[in-house]
A and B are shown apart, each in its own frame.
Chain A
Amino acid sequence: MKTGHKHFHPAFTIGGMALGIIWLIPLIWMVGTAFTEASYTMSILPKTKPTLDNLKYVWNAVPFGRYYLNTLIVVVATYSVQFVTVTLAAYALAVLKFKGEKLIFIIIFIQIIIPNDVLISPNYMMLADLGLTDTKLGIMLPFFGSAFGIFLLRQMFKTVPLALSEAATIDGCNLIQIIRHVYVPSSKAAYLSFALVSVSYHWNNFLWPLIVTNSPENRTLTVGLALFAKSKEAVMQWANVCAATFIISAPLVIAFFIFQKRFINSFVSSGIK
């Protein structure tokens, strides 16, 4: 049963709708400006002719194609590795009883309370020690272990009945097969939540890729946008900056508009991070 106050004053409803529209103003302005001819004054709703010139200009002036590919590689590879590390760890923590469990929980807890960004300085030194500065692997490496993912999957694995895995053992499955054929398929929802949170985080992440990368071959979209927005070409050129902003935010925002519920439910679980 849905709850809440059911007897709202109509003024409240109208106010709510107005608030919803105000919230959209930056997006409306950004998209409108990106797709219309550049003008001398800004207006919330576009007043000039529609055009693709801004997008074309920005796409050619900045190697956004390259940056797109880099971001895609980082996002997909990070999640793929996380998928494996998180699954194995979550199984151990959900199903097995072993010595040192407390220590593991302390380590996981440390990562949950300390955001990765705080450790930029020592982590960069670590990358330098490993010779991995200015590489895509360097951008991804600190995120291959995910306390958030382990927690999320562990909760899910705990709900899988032991009888299922016992039956699989009798059928001759080994441990890895049990994880693959029993635990992973029954936790699809948790994997999807983790994927949405992980992908959004890495698509949008900025400070760490900025520090790690030095060359266009390895830069991600966010770093590319920042460099462009701060360059001389961008001064007063809001049409171009809006076009660039559109290029980097469109995939996630469109995906969110389509799968609104899925996104919101996934981000609720990200609270433990």
Chain B
Amino acid sequence: MKKMKRTVKTNLTAWALLAPSLVFLLTFTVFPIFRSIYLGFTRYELGMMKPEFIGLKNYVDLFGSAIFWKIIGNTVAFSLMTVIPSMVLGLALASLVNHKRKGVGFLRTSFFYPVVMPMIAIASIWMFIYMADSGMLDQFLLKLGMQPMNVLSYKESVKPAMAFMYVWKEAGYLMIFFLSGLQNISGELYEAARIDGATGWTAFKKITLPLLGPTLLFVSTIALTNSIKLVDHIVIMTEGAPNNASTMLLFYIYQQGFAWFDQAKASALTVIMLVIMLAIAMLQFVKSDRKIHYN
């Protein structure tokens, strides 16, 4: 009897302590998900008092629209252009700074500082690097006797230009995860490998990469999520121009909801994005079941 009373009390205490967090998590994470799912099945434009149920029409419209597929294509292309390069670079930088010696502090600082700067500030700076004719890049090309490229104005170059900027910003962030992964690998392994004559690239391939398995998986999830939700720079640099060549999914949600005030379309797009986020999270689970780590 006394024991039961105690568990009731513990239960009450626990839920009371969790209540403040739960209120906010439910109101601004869980409920909005269900609201988006519901509104995705409706028509709800500016001036309408109530949403009107229209079944799958929003999705049918989206899947039938060329712009939607262009934007999905942009988002996938941008992820391909950023995730793998920033991971490779992040790992390279981590290997470079994984030492105790002079200059390493400077290198870590220099690779990581873009992470603590707002994306808005970075985009404002790179705007002038990429600016037509008088921008730093075009000036540099002119000096080399080449034609200015005006990278942000052409559909072929706008995504690679943005991806380049983003890889510069993101590589330092991914670096720190690789760095903590590298520091978990025992130095004795390298010592043993060295005695066997395996150094440099061989040691990297045979020891570092396999042991970094879990880190690689984890970092790829972070990199993919970050790349897909990136939007600030578009507002500053192009607003989706030229001809939607730089519009990504989240920017499209922003346009639908807050420029064209079509909350139902925005909700349907939100649901699509939620499915993508869920799929990325699942990827990590499915794969980590396969035990990649040898430690």
Contact = CB atoms under 8 A, between A and B. Distances in A.
A79 interface: no
A173 interface: no
Interface string B94-124: 0110111001011111111111111111101
A204 B119 CA distance: 7
Contact of B190 (A3, A13, A91, A248): A3
Given A2-B99, A5-B95, A107 B25 contact: yes
Contacts of B119: 204, 206
A89 B23 CA distance: 12
A108 B108 CA distance: 32
Interface stretch (B62-70, B155-163, B249-257): B249-257
A252 B28 contact: no
Contacts of B281: 113
A26 B86 CA distance: 18
Interface in B151-185: 168, 172-173, 176-177, 179-180, 182-183, 185
Interface in A103-146: 104, 107-108, 110-111, 113-126, 141-146
A150 B21 contact: yes
Nearest to B264: A121
B270 interface: yes
Given A23-B168, A108-B25, A122-B270, A88 B18 contact: yes
Interface in B247-288: 250, 253-254, 256-258, 263, 266-267, 270, 273-274, 277-278, 280-281
Contacts of B118: 203-204, 206, 221-222, 225, 248-249
Contact of B32 (A12, A117, A122): A122
A90 B198 CA distance: 46
Nearest to B262: A121
B243 interface: no
Interface residues of A, number: 96
A121 B117 contact: no
- Top 10 nearest A-B pairs (CB, nearest first) are A145-B24, A122-B32, A98-B14, A204-B118, A3-B187, A142-B28, A92-B17, A113-B281, A4-B98, A145-B25
Interface of A: 1-7, 12-13, 16-17, 19-21, 23-24, 26-27, 29-30, 41-42, 44, 84-86, 88-89, 91-93, 96-100, 104, 107-108, 110-111, 113-126, 141-147, 150, 175, 200, 203-204, 206-207, 210-211, 221-222, 225-226, 229-230, 236, 238, 241-242, 244-245, 248-249, 252-253, 255-257, 260, 263-264, 267-268, 271
